[in-house]
Amino acid sequence: MRTEDLEIVLDGGTETQSLDFKKSCPWSMNTFAKDILAMANVQGGGTIVIGVVEEKDGSYTRQGIFEEHKKTYTTDGIMDDMSKFADPYVQVSVKPLKDKKGVEYAILTIEPFRDIPVICKKDSDDTKRGCIYYRNRDGRPNSAVISNSFDMRDLIERAVVQSAKRAKDIGFVLPSSDDAKLMMKAIEERLKRERGDL
């Protein structure tokens, strides 16, 4: 993310499936684990901008990250903490970034899962072991356990695509659609022969 990109998301003033705002706070697994797990499971991953306050009316105000909070955010520390919660691991990075007025924010970038969806492997105040978290799309975006077929289907479809890409990357040749049709036809013919007149 660049300053121009930060300005766009701050001016947009709304959270999305892949964007979350947090007020200035020190790094804490209890504050961030669920959001990081959820964003790892959405298309394209996600971004958390730390230093934005949500007002009572639902609008957002630029605050910036406090200096004493900023020093608690390190990529290595976050990755170490998340390794206790995520299976498989989640790739997270953090960097400071200033808006055009010089106000500084901490930007957490969460990469999408590589092969298979991320499952929570540890209970906490805000997470439950064995659950799959996701940024829902059936209302105001929030991080929660998958609770509807639409979100589950999206996650499964992306996992299948990722698995196929990985298989291709390591040299496994997937059949073309014509090959698959020929194979299905051969299977159907064999089944007909085996069933006879049944």
Residue 174 has pLDDT above 80, yes or no: no
Q: What is the mean pLDDT of residues 95-107?
A: 96
* Verdict on whether the full-model pTM lies above 0.85: no
Question: What pLDDT score does 138 carry?
Answer: 74
Domains assigned to the chain: 3-169 (3.30.950.30)
pLDDT tier, 136 (very low <50, low <70, confident <90, very high otherwise): confident
Q: Across residues 123-144, what is the average pLDDT?
A: 90
At residue 86, the 3 state secondary structure works out as strand
Q: What percent of the chain has pLDDT over 90?
A: 61
Token pair belonging to 36: 């990081």
- Residues 44-80: tens digit of each pLDDT: 999 999 999 999 998 899 999 999 999 999 999 999 9
pLDDT at 181 over 80: no
Predicted local distance difference test score (pLDDT) of residue 172: 74
Which of 165, 160, 62 minimizes the C-alpha distance to 116?
160
